[in-house]
Structure 1
């Protein structure tokens, strides 16, 4: 019977298998939402890398697995970026090459119990280092962070308030490593079981003692989702539909109305008629209105995406300009070198302008809101800083209309549950065409989700929250701990692993008389 190594002797066959097993974790995310699958999804990838004949081959297993993960996680970009999707996936997939090497270094061959025990901490730390690097906005941001797959799990959301999504990623990878050791390394099953028990004990304690947010009287917040509006004059027709839906909220005692990203396609300074119509809506509904203006400004150059608060007398002057732009979607990195992407896909023909800082707005009746725009809701630090600055409610104005029939709208909406749980603040995710959703301060869903087939104005009873979660107080400490673990292992553990990998020294050869042989004889 052929071993796994013999069956995968061909480099291309092995690379194909690596890409396939690397893609498996995406099934834990929306739309499949098989959250439980995340606990074993990495096991085939770990088993493959540990059987690599050389460290170089293990690095390629990591690279190809990362390529498969990136393609699967961002497959909905293919109709827009075409072949460039694979180029980006290949570049980002290289981040997993050191991880594949690390898996083989710690679990390859017949690892000792010490190496297997170290793998339960070092391998998840290596994964977190990858998520840290690829979370840089210029590389696409933290979309598809493994811990985000647990957005529906109450216990996981509670742990997110302690260490953010990063802590969830670490624990999910640690579980996968433990399962891989139980399956493939018989002599190390005891430390694997001990690691599982220790993880369960620590996480249970964190879950039990994590503070709950203090909630105040509920405020009625309405989301206006106009649905798909296409064709000529779509910006004007979308505004008209949003206006009509907002009028339905009159008499419903709403305190705040939120429109989605790019809900206003005109600069309100150039279109005072629209500003007057918005002010009239505010008076008619008795609510403040948060719109999102996506237009070229009359008072400064360039196109901005801005959250603008409108009251009964018109725009209040509170404005937040989007800071973190979507690579290729809203700007082209190094346009002089990569500008050709606009000819093979739907990359931005003109770079949007960046904002300079986050803003907390007073939306009346003492309600303080912290707006974000589009995929800024993927960045845990942005919502954490808004909570630190006194926001009672977090809001994200989004539009995934380009990817309407894909997994993207559901994936994006799910991030709101994590940001709410991390900060202890309710999160409102308002879109143009779905999926729109609201989450309470523990990440629990509030009211109905508005799917991609819905056009409606929906009212939610939202509980503003106060207090500070451990994650808001201590920040990204799991990332710092992971880097510390990798540094300590690099200094102290790598040498021991190299010595143990060589195996025990062979006994000295003996002469026919039984005495040790001497060199030269």
Structure 2
């Protein structure tokens, strides 16, 4: 007969559950588990693209924080899990930032400290059924506050928002048209929370099941009744993707390839030709010969050409990244200078302190300068264009403002050549689907090296994308629409609701702490207070 396990035989001979408990009881083991649990949601994002994982990926992390022996330990689990999440979703930054990637992850991960504490507060021990049910609202609200805080440009911007993992799920895109990517994220965290209640609180399973049914009904209602953009007409938009060019003279060779590909569009009756970010490395004012070459292309194809200039401007000091519309007569007055820059990639925050980052990675040697306002560009054919540059397609508020200002087509010019072969190009392209669904306007994502793609007003893909292995030009029949989605009209209405829910929790906890009776003094302390000697302990 096999010998039965006893506690004195050591961890290697005990059952798996007992060994796991001993690992989690150690600081190092629990910390590693928190980092790993926080990294799990990355599987829902491109390139793995396992969108369904998002609905269960937070469960291990929440179970860990729930079982923490103290609120401080739960907060630490939140921090370590947040750092693991940031590294996993942004791991493709490692070749550029090296060890600084982990420092940034540790900094941004601090935002999950209160969320870990909140998980234990709401689900730790044996909470009453109403409290467990309230957790399905409050924990998603807390997560939303974290995402709002880290969406600040200086902390990396809203890249890797949990709701954006649902970019190819039609139901998720319909929900985004109502409340943006924020509402989708609330739904995903609510499902994870209800699953934790189902797994750990048998007496609250009816309430948790009801919460899951409510989530399904919300998605179904948005699918059926959310207003759909009304189709107006179709525009033919061409995307030019020259491919990877490195080494000396790469800017001129890239420009020549872009010209070659654009010439192939002659006779295809396109309404607009879009080049990627940094497709032109010369200031068009200082180089009229380059401006004339681009104008000749516009005359040849019979359409305006939207290029992106990454160069030092002759009329101002400093380097700008600018979307410039070029017509048959040359560059138009319509010009957009990029407003939100990539930290370390295009500028170094507090360069006097953090300038050393340029010596350990590919951080910007010189800061780019910012534009001051967004611009809607009218084309000669009457089409109104809303340009964004690279990183800016991650910000829902920027595309929403352009649509409210009259943009009929959103265009993001991007360059991810530094991260070829990583998850970055696919992650970036997927953001355009969310922006299109949120605003009810088609979005063109044009890059130098892929992935270039187009999404219709509802967020569905139009045509075939140009992958990172392509150097080509492609024409897309882009459906145009009119009217505003609820998100474009009302904005981030889900945010104040989440704030109100958390404020109500804080008020309730505050009142409860005031009403809590003071602990009764023990016999020993009472005798000491009267001056009586305490009995010796034998």
Bucket of the pairwise TM-score, normalised by the shorter protein: over 0.9
The within-5 A match list for 1:226-265 is 226-265=242-281
The Cα offsets for residues 276-320 of structure 1, whole Å up to 9 and x where unpaired, read as 011110000001000000000111000000000000000011100
1:91 aligns to 2:97 (yes or no):
no
Aligned equivalents of 2:104, 2:23: Cα separation in 1: 30
Aligned equivalents of 1:7, 1:402: Cα separation in 2: 40
DSSP 3-state at the match of 1:216: strand
Q: Report deviation, 1:202.
A: 2.7
Q: How does the TM-score come out when normalised to structure 1? A: 0.95
Give 2:190's aligned residue.
Answer: 174
- Residue among 297, 300, 309 paired with 2:316: 300
- Residue among 154, 159, 168 paired with 1:138: 154
Q: Report deviation, 1:498.
A: 10
Q: Report deviation, 1:207.
A: 2.6
Give 2:227's aligned residue.
Answer: 211
Aligned equivalents of 2:372, 2:505: Cα separation in 1: 39
Give 1:453's aligned residue.
Answer: 469
Native 8 Å contact 1:115 1:497 kept in 2: no
Native 8 Å contact 2:233 2:481 kept in 1: no
Q: How does the TM-score come out when normalised to structure 2? A: 0.92
Q: Report deviation, 1:493.
A: 4.4
Gaps spanning 5+ residues in structure 1: where? 510-519
Aligned equivalents of 2:352, 2:175: Cα separation in 1: 44
Native 8 Å contact 2:283 2:312 kept in 1: yes
Give 2:438's aligned residue.
Answer: 422
Gaps spanning 5+ residues in structure 2: where? 1-14, 524-533
1:26 aligns to 2:42 (yes or no):
yes
The Cα offsets for residues 90-130 of structure 1, whole Å up to 9 and x where unpaired, read as 00011111100000001001111011011000000000000
DSSP 3-state at the match of 1:267: coil
**Cα distance, 1:317–1:342 mapped onto 2, change above 3 Å:** same
Q: Report deviation, 1:142.
A: 0.2
CA radius of gyration, larger in: 2
DSSP 3-state at the match of 1:463: strand
1:112 aligns to 2:128 (yes or no):
yes
**Cα distance, 1:299–1:157 mapped onto 2, change above 3 Å:** same
The Cα offsets for residues 375-433 of structure 1, whole Å up to 9 and x where unpaired, read as 10000000000010000000000000000110000000000000000000000000000
Moved more, 430-439 or 2-11: 2-11
The within-5 A match list for 1:379-398 is 379-398=395-414
1:43 aligns to 2:59 (yes or no):
yes
Give 2:382's aligned residue.
Answer: 366
**Cα distance, 1:497–1:370 mapped onto 2, change above 3 Å:** farther
The Cα offsets for residues 49-85 of structure 1, whole Å up to 9 and x where unpaired, read as 0000000000010000001001101100101101100
Aligned equivalents of 1:163, 1:410: Cα separation in 2: 24
Give 1:68's aligned residue.
Answer: 84
DSSP 3-state at the match of 1:421: helix
Give 2:488's aligned residue.
Answer: 472
Give 1:377's aligned residue.
Answer: 393
Give 1:515's aligned residue.
Answer: none
Q: Report deviation, 1:203.
A: 2.9
- Equivalent residues, number: 507
Give 1:487's aligned residue.
Answer: 503
Give 1:513's aligned residue.
Answer: none
DSSP 3-state at the match of 2:388: strand
